[in-house]
Amino acid sequence: MKHTFKSLLLGASIAVFSTGYIASVNASDMSAEASIAAAKAAQKQAQSVGGEWRDTGKMIKKAEKLLKEGKAKQAAKLAQEAEAQGMLGYMQATSQTSDKLHI
pLDDT exceeds cutoff 50 at 61? yes
Per-residue confidence at 97, pLDDT binned at 50, 70, 90? confident
Per-residue model confidence as pLDDT tens digits over 6-44: 665 566 566 555 545 554 455 445 699 999 999 999 999
Q: For the chain, which residues make up each domain, given as ranges? A: 2-95
Nearest CA-CA partner of 88 in 54, 60, 52, 61: 52
Which residue type sits at 21?
Answer: Y
pLDDT score, position 27: 46
16: DSSP letter: I
Alpha-carbon gap, residue 20 to 81, rounded angstroms: 12
Check if the beta carbon of residue 64 is closer than 8 Å to that of residue 44: no
Show Cβ contacts of residue 13 under 8 Å, excluding neighbours closer than 6 positions: 88, 91, 95
